[in-house]
Structure 1
Amino acid sequence: MQAIDFTWPKGFQTGTAHAGFKEDDQLDMAWIVSDVPAVAAGVYTKNQFQAAPVQFTKNLINQNHKLQAVVINSGNANSFTGQEGLDHADETHQLAANQLAINPDLVAVASTGVIGKQLEMEKIKGGLNQLSLTRKSDIAHAILTTDSCEKKITVAVMVAGQPVTITGIAKGSGMIHPNVGTTLGFVTTDASIASETLQDLLSDLIQSSFNQITVDGCMSTNDMVLVLANGQAENELLDQSSAQTDALADFKEGLKVVLVALAKMVAKDGEGSNKFVQATVVNAASVVEANQVARAIVGSNLIKAMLFGEENNWGRIVQAIGQTQAQINPTHLDIYLADMPLVKDSQKVLADRDQVAAILAEDDINLTIDLHVGEATGQAWGCDLTYKYVEINAAYEG
């Protein structure tokens, strides 16, 4: 398996447009289209106020587990918009289906942007009229809101001797604290795979990828990750049968690489952030507890402020670990900043101040926590908390 130049898998095309949801002719509408119906899987926000497109798309996928197109708009979330918002989601997918001459039941919708504004359907119609189909487009840019950069990746993986491509794009910078989903993420592959198997893989891998990032502890109403697999690689169908064990494992590893990479890109682009932080927890009682501790560390506002201020206040890390429900050994905790020990066996280590300062001045910070209670490992990713974050969100309005 290897990362390759960004490209779409066989049988997928995209298009972008400026529909008017954003100012200054910025791209704000796009679609992803497969030449043939694709097996589809999804995970969605647990926010109780799920936006209309999340409700609509979740219901669509649950009905037939197939999609051929996804229509995306940025700049208006179509969230907290009641029945009218659901009607607009339905109208959008009908219009797109008519334009593509495909079954409406195969067209999903996704939106991101300001909450509480009805979707202007004239802009949707105008955007759809501009959308074309091409192997190359700026779709990774068209779905952004407060992001400062695109998030995209392509990997090639051999599955039972057959080359398979997996490509993913995502958006996200603020309102990032996923639970069974993320900010918008779309993964496409030309692999042939059973729908139930694909859903099981996504539901499993999301736990150690997107669910392990946090920027500000705020869960969006519009979070979803979708995976479409159109079978154009013509590999033998991947399913849960014993005969497919190795091939399925290879595909799963490729999908994991894509999901983790996109998740880390989102965390690294946290609104106003200066620093990216990775927390690795080792020797935990279980993977669930390792992930829980790692996420508590990258999600702590005290630790975020510590990193922004470049201060070695490791007591804040101790506090964050202790407030979880994970098993710990109070007398055997180790904390490392990069490879430098700050705490060993729950005792302060007299670290070189200049070395610590030099590490904390870097853009990427790695923290390792040894719990000494088991053999499990987990990771989480986040960023520091800066004045710029407050400035961005104080000015963000509909």
Structure 2
Amino acid sequence: MAVNLQAAADKDILSIDGVQVYVGQAGIKKTGRDDITLIVLNSANSVGAVFTQNRFCAAPVQIAKQHLAGHYPIRALIINTGNANAGTGKKGRDDALLVCQSVAKQLSCAPGQVLPFSTGVILEPLPAEKIIAALPKVKPVHWTQAAAAIMTTDTVPKAASRQVIIDGKPVRFTGIAKGAGMIHPNMATMLGFIFTDAAIAQPVWQQLVRDAAQTSFNAITVDGDTSTNDSFVAVATGKSGMTKIQSFDDANCAAVAAALSDLALELAQAIVRDGEGASKLITVSVKNAHTVAEARQVGYAIARSPLVKTAFYASDPNLGRILCAIGYAGIADLDTDKLKVYLGSVLVAENGGRAAGYTEEAGQAVMNEAEITITVDLNRGIAAAEIYTCDLSKEYVAINADYRS
């Protein structure tokens, strides 16, 4: 039921020099499909990462943060689906470390050079022994198979690539992601991984990753639930042959930043397009706010409103729900007489009420579309932000009611 989203063909996803991808079956998932992914890196790389801000963050998130703080060259990422290893206390952290130790032994590196990631059911012990037993049996695969192996309730594997020319060299970017429900910053249940052969210093890369996350994985919502396991990790192998970027002033930095952000946004939007039970992709564009934070605040009030989202599922132009959400967004000095609201190109509201030229027929025509933009002009500044969401359907309830069965 994904909204205008199809699985990428192998030929469209670029390999990245310095990265090898493997998948295997540990038997965590009841479906008998691949449920572990091992990504092996060359020893020289820069790694940027952004993690969930949920205080109940999962054991692998805690361990990954510790290992990144150790300043090791990262040699591998190990990802399992079917079990989140969250809400598992010290035992969960010990299990995540055991998996890292097993990967490290297989690759002849230190455990601190391995980053663990998990996704699936919360409050269940991680079957670490199954993962460890499966590791020697993993097989090399294409990126699209790795994208499929990290899925949970996703209906479509999410993978995409970009290529730009820097210093006369082709520089490649490839990413995979998973997520369909429990999606809301900070961050969204999502895992996102991007790899590039660009050469860039660690501090610069980390900031570019943070910036990219803010306008992509931290600009989406499906159901308003922030997960315990959210992770966005980007690795630059430095294998492209370009001159290494050492500062933000480097003339090539903008091109790398743009490719990274564009790819991250495509993957983030793919998560929303595949939102559990989704039939519509909704972009909430808020402009002329005092600050970006204010624009995001209004955007999220609309995007996470169950009443707004159910109206869109029904293709019902009950657009007063949008005004209601703007009103409770928490902007104390908002002058509602000055703002304008558009549905697509149709002016819906101005001067504190329904626009004189608005008709139900015009609103209905937009509501029937699969991809819809809501534009809110606050008319109080120059800042802007976009938030991406989907409608809320009966199928969302069914999927989450049956999730563990």
Structures share fold, TM-score greater than 0.5? yes
User: How many angstroms apart in 2 are the aligned matches of 1:265 and 1:383?
Assistant: 11
SS state at 1:24 partner: coil
- Pairing 1:233-272 to 2, within 5 Å after superposition: 233-240=240-247, 242=249, 244=250, 246-272=251-277
Q: Is the 8 A contact 2:204 2:248 kept in 1?
A: no
- Pairing 1:77-116 to 2, within 5 Å after superposition: 77-116=84-123
Percent identity of equivalent pairs: 37
Match of 2:350 in 1: 344
Match of 1:305 in 2: 310
Match of 1:43 in 2: 50
Residues 297/160 of structure 1: CA separation in 2 closer, same or farther (3 Å cut): farther
After superposition, what is the alpha-carbon deviation per residue over 1:263-310, rounded to whole angstroms, capped at 9, x for unaligned? Answer: 111111111111111111111112222222222211111110111122
- Pairing 1:1-398 to 2, within 5 Å after superposition: 5-64=12-71, 66-135=73-142, 138-180=145-187, 183-240=190-247, 242=249, 244=250, 246-326=251-331, 328-349=334-355, 350-397=357-404
SS state at 2:218 partner: helix
Match of 2:4 in 1: none
SS state at 1:145 partner: coil
User: How many angstroms apart in 2 are the aligned matches of 1:52 and 1:263?
Assistant: 24
Q: Is the 8 A contact 1:60 1:105 kept in 2?
A: yes
Q: Is the 8 A contact 1:15 1:137 kept in 2?
A: no
Q: Is the 8 A contact 2:23 2:35 kept in 1?
A: yes
Range moving further from structure 2, 63-72 or 125-134 = 125-134
User: How many angstroms apart in 2 are the aligned matches of 1:373 and 1:213?
Assistant: 24
Q: Is the 8 A contact 2:285 2:375 kept in 1?
A: yes
User: How many angstroms apart in 2 are the aligned matches of 1:229 and 1:181?
Assistant: 23
User: How many angstroms apart in 1 are the aligned matches of 2:140 and 2:297?
Assistant: 42
User: How many angstroms apart in 2 are the aligned matches of 1:153 and 1:325?
Assistant: 37
The residue type paired with residue 308 of structure 1 is Y
User: How many angstroms apart in 2 are the aligned matches of 1:192 and 1:152?
Assistant: 22
User: How many angstroms apart in 1 are the aligned matches of 2:263 and 2:237?
Assistant: 17
User: How many angstroms apart in 2 are the aligned matches of 1:214 and 1:181?
Assistant: 7
State TM-score, norm by structure 2: 0.93
Q: How many residues align?
A: 393
The residue type paired with residue 362 of structure 2 is Q
State TM-score, norm by structure 1: 0.94
Match of 2:7 in 1: none
SS state at 1:124 partner: helix
SS state at 2:195 partner: strand
Structure 1: gaps (5+ residues): none
User: How many angstroms apart in 1 are the aligned matches of 2:114 and 2:280?
Assistant: 38
User: How many angstroms apart in 1 are the aligned matches of 2:126 and 2:257?
Assistant: 37
Q: Is the 8 A contact 1:164 1:233 kept in 2?
A: yes
Range moving further from structure 2, 354-363 or 388-397 = 354-363
Pairwise CA distance, 1:121: 2.2
Q: Is the 8 A contact 2:187 2:226 kept in 1?
A: no
After superposition, what is the alpha-carbon deviation per residue over 1:86-118, rounded to whole angstroms, capped at 9, x for unaligned? Answer: 111111011111112233221111000001111
After superposition, what is the alpha-carbon deviation per residue over 1:328-378, rounded to whole angstroms, capped at 9, x for unaligned? Answer: 332111111111111133331242333322221221111111111112221
Residues 23/397 of structure 1: CA separation in 2 closer, same or farther (3 Å cut): closer
The residue type paired with residue 328 of structure 1 is L
SS state at 1:211 partner: coil
SS state at 2:153 partner: coil
Pairwise CA distance, 1:223: 0.7
Residues 301/65 of structure 1: CA separation in 2 closer, same or farther (3 Å cut): farther
User: How many angstroms apart in 1 are the aligned matches of 2:241 and 2:85?
Assistant: 38
Residues 224/290 of structure 1: CA separation in 2 closer, same or farther (3 Å cut): same
Range moving further from structure 2, 50-59 or 34-43 = 34-43
After superposition, what is the alpha-carbon deviation per residue over 1:26-84, rounded to whole angstroms, capped at 9, x for unaligned? Answer: 11111111233421111111111111000000111122163121000000111111111
Q: Is the 8 A contact 1:180 1:207 kept in 2?
A: no
